[in-house]
Amino acid sequence: MNFQSRRAARTTRRIRLHSVAVVLATAQTFTLDGISARPVRVEVDVHRGLPAFSVVGLPDAAVREARERVRAALVNCGFEFPLRRIVANLAPASLRKAGPGLDLAISVALLTASGQLELGSSIAMVGELALDGSVRPVPGVLAIAEAARERGCAAIVVPAENGPEAALVEGLDVICLESLSQVAALAAGEWTPPRPRPMSLDRRQGETLPDLADLRGQRHLRYALEVAAAGGHSLLMVGPPGAGKSLAASRLPSILPPLAAGEALEVARISSVCGRLGAGTAGRPFRSPHHTISPAGLVGGGNPPGPGEATLAHRGVLFLDELCEFRRDTLEALRAPLESGWVAVARAGAWRQLPCRFMLVAASNPCPCGRGESDPECNCAPLAVRRYQARLSGALADRIDVLAAIRQPSAEEIGGPAGEPSETVRERVIVARERQERRLGAGRSNAEMTVAEVRECTLEESAATLLAESYSRRRLSGRAHDRVLRLARTVADLTGNEVIGHEQVAQALQLRRRDSE
Amino acid sequence: MNEPNACPDCLRRARLLAHLAPYIEKISSAAPGSRSPELLRLCNEDLAAAAAPKIAVQVLAEVNAVPEQRLRSDLLAAHCWACCRHDPAFPPGLGDAADAPWALIGRGDPGLLDRLAPEEAVTIVGARRASTYGREMARELGRELAAAGLLVISGLAFGIDACAHRGALEADTTVAVLGCGADTAYPASHRSLWRRICERGLVLSELPPGTGAWRWTFPARNRIMAALAGMTVVVEAAQRSGSLITADLAADLGRDLGAVPGPVNSRASAGTNDLLAGGACLIRDGQDVLDAMLGPGVRKAERVGADLDARLRAVLTALERGAETSDAIAAALDLDGAAAGSALATLEALGYVSCSLIGVYSRTLLSAPAI
């Protein structure tokens, strides 16, 4: 017997010596990290000694309080809470664990360790416990279920209310638990839980959304909305208060094409992590944060970093009403995310990359009083107006493609017939998007065209002349030139032209956002 | 052509003004919106005694002690030159004013001094807080008059002034008269415009380089603008606007005075409408200015744009009737949003209309060809 095997034998002997008192059990669970879930293995050790229950492994306050919930829940469900020295370790120890979702895993591991039940180790579990043992829903179950499948778990135990959400993940058995007392039956094989039906991510979104028909008159605004939706272009509306800017923005999701299956799952995962997934939240998100929002609130932040409004608006619409009232640094924070579709939030000890591919829609008054300088009643100081409008040509506004000037609709228009419904506009938008995808690849729109792709757009001769003329006469910048081409491409996609004509360039020139001199 | 020249006495006068600027500010700021300080008529000794009696002797001695070499090297260092009242190149119009500056400090093209005669120059002034209409009118007037061979003078201020300069630069050149040293752009946000004028036109001031702007220097600057030009055109001014000071000064010098009419219910145009009611020349376009200055029909500023089809003509008419956004045009003519937009963009490309930062359209002075 060589040295190494002698040592192994001694170790085994020592364990056998204490085996009467040491029982170790583990359970698989997950904790949320940004908008994805990270695996956590719960190890519970029940040891002889003074009765105590400690949780180690970077738990936050909610996890530490699990001790009290677990103790009460076990006793109230008729289990025995061992009067021993209990240590629950959450591995990996370097990962910070947050939230009450670990309750279920800790209690099951404890029950296993004290020999009260035996559950397969390939079953992941997540859920918060009430004192009476009932299992409460937790946020982010969709992300957790996806992580469980990736980790190779055969099944996942989730709170009953989160069942439909977890069932969205294919290739994973979902077990819905209403109370901790059901665990014993489950472990003994006496109870076969019903398989929950996956919740519907209604991709056609449909009738619950406000309809564009409410926007009466305002033909140019309707057209600008249609072009913006068709090409995924960002939109700025400028006009007096009450002219219909917010109304128009809230109707935008209803004319956007439905989400693809993968996109719908992305959106659902984000809203699940933020605890907002439920009935009526399917479809493209529409977020309109108040203008007092902080940079961290908009792009994500905090410690550990959590998603902000930009991420919540992923694949949907982010509406910034009163653009000029937003803090400058807040708007600046949106610049890089707007270009890349991702936001990287770094805080001490944590770094997250969160998706945020949204359509930016902004609205502003023409001057501080809102009437507009051409109104004789407007009494704004010139410097105040300049300062106000300077924010419309800042670095963020530079990334806005379409400008819609809005005026108060006349009485006849407001009393007139309802406008075209969202349904028909959306059909045109979908056709235009299909053309773009055929040209650019799946999931891409004209707004995302690279400079090289823009150069490949073919123009009729008269269209090229018009563009060149405007370029020299109106002193367009190179960026504005490309912006006009992108818009013209979208207009041509809406009308079904393969080559961009004079009419389309003219419309794009008119729709484009103006630069200050 | 001869280099413009200035004698040391006149340069010292400019330096004295710079030294006394804070004291003049103190005694003239009692009446805000008042005209150019009467003090500027006085000779050096009286001016110093009136503005700063306690330190008059000291200041005078200090200024007189500056060597001529230093006066000239300071100008050169600021890339400026000077032209005093004793120089033949000194603009003749200034001779009419009793309180004319002794010397003009200039930056830019000194050759323009030759053209700076009252019969060849027009001053365009107006409110800093100008409407889209006012700005567009100023720009078009500047462009048309510069194209017709007149020298457009203005004050580089926000609003009308800057638009007149920009319009004139599009066609030819322009002259800016500043209320601070000619080497300083005021307001600072017009630095790029100031630089363009320095390169292609002329910037003038009666103050030496490096002098800051004071409240009294603006009405003082206005007296120079009024005297330099044969006609002063006020494009847009509210009541009690600073540009009315220029109009007043021009009228006192016997210069022509013109005003662009505005809507009668617009506060922004109340001052110009008052001027018109008081007998100022009615200015609707550059031709009106040319007729008033040079006699009817002497010089033509005819500008007719490209041919228009029926649809564009209808949009242009709707715009002239007061529809100023794409939306309003669409509603007025019962077009869809796309058609109205493309018509407006075509008109903009042809130069018939212009669009503001926030999407408000206005008509330019370009006239449409007769059908």
What was the pLDDT predicted at A198? Answer: 86
What was the pLDDT predicted at B168? Answer: 92
B369 domain residue, yes or no? no
* CB < 8 Å to A509, chain B: 345, 348-349
First to last CA, chain A: 89
Q: Higher-confidence residue: B122 or B30? A: B122
Mean pLDDT over residues A396-421, rounded? Answer: 83
- Residue A494, C-beta contacts closer than 8 angstroms, at least 6 positions apart: A226, A227, A230, A428, A429, A432
Our count of domains for chain B comes to: 2
What was the pLDDT predicted at A488? Answer: 94
Alpha carbon of A149 to those of A169, A214, A337: distances in Å? 8, 45, 30
What was the pLDDT predicted at A516? Answer: 57
Positive or negative torsion for Cα A260, A262, A268, A274:
negative
Do B250 and B354 lie in a common domain?
no
A400 pLDDT more than 90: no
Mean pLDDT over residues B271-293, rounded? Answer: 93
A167 pLDDT more than 70: yes
User: Residue A499: exposed, middle, or buried by beta-carbon count in 10 A (0-12, 13-18, 19+)?
Assistant: exposed
Of B133, B268, B325, the CB nearest to A405: B325
A21 pLDDT more than 50: no
Tokens of B260: 């662009």
Tokens of A272: 């699940």
Q: What one-letter code names the amino acid at A71?
A: R
Distance between CA atoms of residues A396 and B114, nearest Å = 48
> Which DSSP helix (H) or strand (E) runs through A55?
strand A52-56
Alpha helices in chain B (DSSP H): 8-28, 44-51, 56-65, 68-77, 132-147, 160-171, 191-200, 217-228, 243-252, 270-277, 286-294, 310-320, 326-333, 337-350
Alpha-carbon gap: A396 to the closest alpha carbon of chain B (Å): 15
Query: Which structural domain range is residue B226 located in?
Result: 8-294
8 Å CB contact of A514 and B359: yes
Kindly report, residue by residue over B21-44, the tens digit of the pLDDT.
998 888 876 555 556 667 888 888
Q: What is the 3-state secondary structure (H, E, C) of A224-269?
A: HHHHHHHHCCCEEEECCCCCCHHHHHHHHHHHCCCCCHHHHHHHHH
What was the pLDDT predicted at A75? Answer: 94
Q: At what angle do helices B337-350 and B310-320 cross, to 10 degrees?
A: 90
B3 domain residue, yes or no? no
Do B278 and B238 lie in a common domain?
yes
B102 domain residue, yes or no? yes
Yes or no: say if A76 and A133 are a contact pair by the CB < 8 Å rule: yes
Yes or no: say if B10 and B81 are a contact pair by the CB < 8 Å rule: no
B148 pLDDT more than 60: yes
Residues A206-437, CATH architecture: 3-Layer(aba) Sandwich (3.40)
Fold of A21-188: Ribosomal Protein S5; domain 2 (3.30.230)
Nearest CA in chain B to A408: B328
What was the pLDDT predicted at A517? Answer: 47
B251 pLDDT more than 50: yes
B5 CB within 8 Å of a chain A CB: no
Do B285 and B323 lie in a common domain?
no
What was the pLDDT predicted at A10? Answer: 43
Instruction: Return the bridge partners of A23, or none.
Output: A46
Using alpha carbons, select from A325, A322, A358 the residue that is nearest to residue A339.
Answer: A358
- DSSP letters along A396-450, please? TGGG--EEEE--PPPHHHHHS-----HHHHHHHHHHHHHHHHHHH-TT--GGG--
Alpha carbon of B136 to those of A128, B235, B294: distances in Å? 67, 10, 24
Distance between CA atoms of residues B15 and B112, nearest Å = 24
Q: Which of B342, B348, B366 to mutate to test the interface with A (most CBs of A within 10 A)?
A: B342
Distance between CA atoms of residues B36 and B57, nearest Å = 25
Distance between CA atoms of residues A123 and A158, nearest Å = 11
Do B138 and B205 lie in a common domain?
yes
What was the pLDDT predicted at A126? Answer: 95
What was the pLDDT predicted at B332? Answer: 87
Residue B328 is part of a domain; what is its CATH number? 1.10.10.10
Nearest CA in chain B to A491: B338
Yes or no: say if B199 and B108 are a contact pair by the CB < 8 Å rule: yes
Kindly report, residue by residue over A100-144, the tens digit of the pLDDT.
899 999 999 999 998 888 887 789 999 999 999 999 999 999 999
Of A219, A379, A510, the CB nearest to B342: A510
Yes or no: say if A56 and A86 are a contact pair by the CB < 8 Å rule: no
B53 domain residue, yes or no? yes
Kindly report, residue by residue over B73-110, the tens digit of the pLDDT.
999 999 999 999 999 999 999 988 888 999 999 999 99
Q: A-contacting residues of B 197-236, CB under 8 Å?
A: none
Alpha helices in A151-218 (DSSP H): 163-166, 182-188
**Percent of chain A scoring above 70 in pLDDT:** 91
Instruction: Return the bridge partners of A33, or none.
Output: A36
A16: confidence class by pLDDT, cuts 50, 70, 90: very low
A3 pLDDT more than 50: no
8 Å CB contact of B348 and A517: no
Nearest CA in chain B to A219: B337
Alpha-carbon gap: A377 to the closest alpha carbon of chain B (Å): 8
8 Å CB contact of A413 and B331: yes
Q: What is the mean pLDDT of chain A?
A: 85
Of B268, B344, B356, the CB nearest to A510: B344
What was the pLDDT predicted at B123? Answer: 96
Of A220, A366, A503, the CB nearest to B327: A220
Kindly report, residue by residue over B302-359, the tens digit of the pLDDT.
667 788 888 899 999 998 888 888 888 888 888 888 888 889 888 888 888 888 777 8
Using alpha carbons, select from A45, A33, A3, A7 the residue that is nearest to residue A353.
Answer: A33
B324 CB within 8 Å of a chain A CB: yes
Using alpha carbons, select from B341, B115, B16 the residue that is nearest to residue A227.
Answer: B341
What's the DSSP call for residue A49? S
B351 CB within 8 Å of a chain A CB: yes
B367 CB within 8 Å of a chain A CB: no
Interface predicted TM-score of the whole assembly (ipTM), two decimals: 0.70
8 Å CB contact of A374 and B338: no
Do B275 and B320 lie in a common domain?
no
Q: What one-letter code names the amino acid at A480?
A: A
Residues A449-517, CATH architecture: Orthogonal Bundle (1.10)
Alpha-carbon gap: A165 to the closest alpha carbon of chain B (Å): 43
Do B331 and B254 lie in a common domain?
no
Q: Which of B132, B191, B267, B326 to mutate to test the interface with A (most CBs of A within 10 A)?
A: B326
B10: confidence class by pLDDT, cuts 50, 70, 90: very high
Where along chain A do its domains lie?
A: 21-188, 206-437, 449-517
Using alpha carbons, select from A419, A422, A441 the residue that is nearest to residue A430.
Answer: A422
B230 pLDDT more than 90: yes
Mean pLDDT over residues A505-512, rounded? Answer: 89
Mean pLDDT over residues A359-374, rounded? Answer: 85
Alpha-carbon gap: B37 to the closest alpha carbon of chain A (Å): 26
A359 pLDDT more than 50: yes
- DSSP letters along B145-200, please? HHHTTPEEEE---TTHHHHHHHHHHHHS-EEEE-SS-TTS-SSGGGHHHHHHHHHH
* CB < 8 Å to B355, chain A: 514
> Would you call B281 helix, strand, or coil by DSSP?
strand
Q: What is the mean pLDDT of chain B?
A: 89
Do B46 and B176 lie in a common domain?
yes
> Which DSSP helix (H) or strand (E) runs through A504?
helix A502-511
8 Å CB contact of B349 and A219: no
Do B133 and B168 lie in a common domain?
yes
**Going by DSSP bridges, is the β-strand pair A317-320/A286-287 parallel, antiparallel, or unpaired?**
parallel
Nearest CA in chain A to B170: A473
Do B215 and B279 lie in a common domain?
yes
Distance between CA atoms of residues B341 and A503, nearest Å = 9
CB pairs under 8 A between A and B: 118
- DSSP letters along B202-255, please? EEEESSPTT----TTHHHHHHHHHHHH-SEEEE----TT-THHHHHHHHHHTT-
B46 domain residue, yes or no? yes
B342 CB within 8 Å of a chain A CB: yes
A351: confidence class by pLDDT, cuts 50, 70, 90: confident
A5 pLDDT more than 50: no
* CB < 8 Å to A491, chain B: 338
Do B95 and B220 lie in a common domain?
yes
Yes or no: say if A145 and A176 are a contact pair by the CB < 8 Å rule: no
Of A28-37, A219-228, A406-415, least confident by mean pLDDT is A406-415
